[in-house]
Amino acid sequence: MRSSVQDVNPRVRGIREPTGLQSLAARITEEISQGAKKPFKTVIDVSSADPHRAGMAPSSFVRQVLAVCLYPELLKEKSFPLDVRQRAQKLLGACGGGSVGSYSITSRGIPHVQKSVAEFIARRDGGVSSNPEEIIFSSGSQKTLTLVLHLMASGEGATQTGVLTPTPCPHTLPTLLDVSGVTVVPYQLMEDRGWAVDLDELHRALRTARGRCEPRAIYISNPGNPTGHVQDRKTIEEVIRFAAAEGLVLLAEEVNQDSVYGQDKEFVSYKKVLFEMGAKYSETVELISFNSISSACMGECGLRGGYMEVINMDLAVSKYLRNMQATSSPPVLPQLALEVMVNPPTPGQRSYKTYAQEILHTRTTLSQNAQRACEFLNNLPGMKCQPAMAGVFLYPRLHLPPQMIEEATVVGVEADVFYCQRLLEEEGVCLGAGCENGQEDQNHHVRLCVLAPPATLEEVLARLRSFHLRLLDRFP
């Protein structure tokens, strides 16, 4: 990436067509509102990682602080806890003009929030230092990733930039890579090992890519999206050594770091491991890590706030990233939400007890829902689900009847899309199809968000079971 500054290629190449499942869900919802008779009263959309849409409540502290920032007259409102008003006043003081309506003070973001994020990273990684100057904000982690990809994209044919990408991957990633003008170099995660990263598979993917593109980066999702797999230290070290040996930039998406619930599993950041491997790696491997307020416990997807930390980037590259932001400074309100996420209430503050209870409720709901849904899915004939360790999705495999696969081929859609369409039309449940996550082989999967109120999840599972068993009767 050190030589990529002059190679920027903003052209948009082929864009993958979306499956249209959410459009179908919206259309059915509209039909119900207009009086159409359906076998169900409402559509339940659990295809995306949007806990508030699914019915989970937002954090009171976050919303109170943002409310006061938006309407400073509330600083006088004694019904708001003192620590809420103090935090809002401090954040307003960090904003240009003391208002969320002003532009960010710098193109990278508000310096006070950069400092808070850097301090959070240092605490998380056991004292590994973090430079606020290396923190860059944007409107969501996808936006920050887009900045990097547009910087790296160059060439045509055999010289076109390639990015090693996990299969399955986040369902928004394939389109994002296409729009950015880079070649997807897929590497398969090992489903029979709980969706683990395999070093031999990385080498195979890289060998296959040579001659048809120029691999420059490897994208890692840890904890995995949509698989929920949590990488151990040994795997992270292997990936870092692989990236170092092959001269690849490490793009580490770590949005699910706050939602690890697997037994004996813990999140360890790529940065922490990198800096514990010694100067040979910590001073040379180029790493960009991503996080956002769309994380499970925060769940503020609609605010679109995220950051990236850039490590070991050439000064010209870092400057270019900042300049790319300069034409459109990051929105202020999401940065304030980020500050609250990385700097929550502490023991002794008035809001701490409520905040701690709400976070515990979210994590407990997520853990119990994931276990409940995984057991349920594995008891359905023709389904197999790997145990989730983290994140908000389950990603079960479908063993579909040949007749159904043939019917999907006749109508011109992927078999997993066909399954999801029928489920949506017959039971009003919207799941994600595996082909959205980069699955292009004969193994069919669906994506189910389990961060929802338990009653909502039970309704989803009941409708899914009814449909699935009918399907097997229809296609023996």
C-alpha radius of gyration, the chain, whole number? 23
Considering the segment(s) 90-342 as one domain, its CATH architecture is 3-Layer(aba) Sandwich (3.40)
CB-CB contact of 379 with 399 (8 Å): no
For residue 107, the tally of other CB atoms under 10 A from its CB is 18
The number of angstroms, rounded, from the C-alpha of 111 to the middle of its chain's C-alpha atoms is: 25
Quick check: 146 pLDDT over 70?
yes
Quick check: 13 pLDDT over 60?
no
- pLDDT, tens digit (0-9, with 9 covering 90-100), for 381-413: 999 999 989 999 999 999 998 999 999 999 999
| H-only helix segments in 379-453 | 402-411, 415-427
pLDDT tier, 296 (very low <50, low <70, confident <90, very high otherwise): confident
- Beta strand 161-167 with 214-221 is parallel
CATH class of 5-57+355-474: alpha beta
Tell me what the pLDDT averaged over the chain comes to.
91
Average pLDDT on 231-245 reads: 98
DSSP 405-422: HHHHHHHTS-HHHHHHHH
- pLDDT, tens digit (0-9, with 9 covering 90-100), for 419-433: 999 999 999 999 999
Rounded distance between C-alpha atoms, residue 219 and residue 392, angstroms:
20
Nearest to 391 by CA among 345, 447, 453: 447
What pLDDT is attached to residue 16?
41
Rounded distance between C-alpha atoms, residue 221 and residue 252, angstroms:
6
Q: Supply 259's token pair.
A: 């939602």
Rounded distance between C-alpha atoms, residue 102 and residue 95, angstroms:
7
3-class secondary-structure state, position 169: coil
3-class secondary-structure state, position 443: coil
Element (H, E) at 238: helix 233-246
More confident residue, 267 or 102: 267
Spans of all domains in the chain: 5-57+355-474, 90-342
What pLDDT is attached to residue 327?
56
- pLDDT, tens digit (0-9, with 9 covering 90-100), for 339-378: 999 999 999 999 999 999 999 999 999 999 999 999 999 9
- pLDDT, tens digit (0-9, with 9 covering 90-100), for 245-285: 999 999 999 999 999 999 999 999 999 999 999 999 999 99
Quick check: 147 pLDDT over 90?
no
Q: Supply 282's token pair.
A: 């910590």
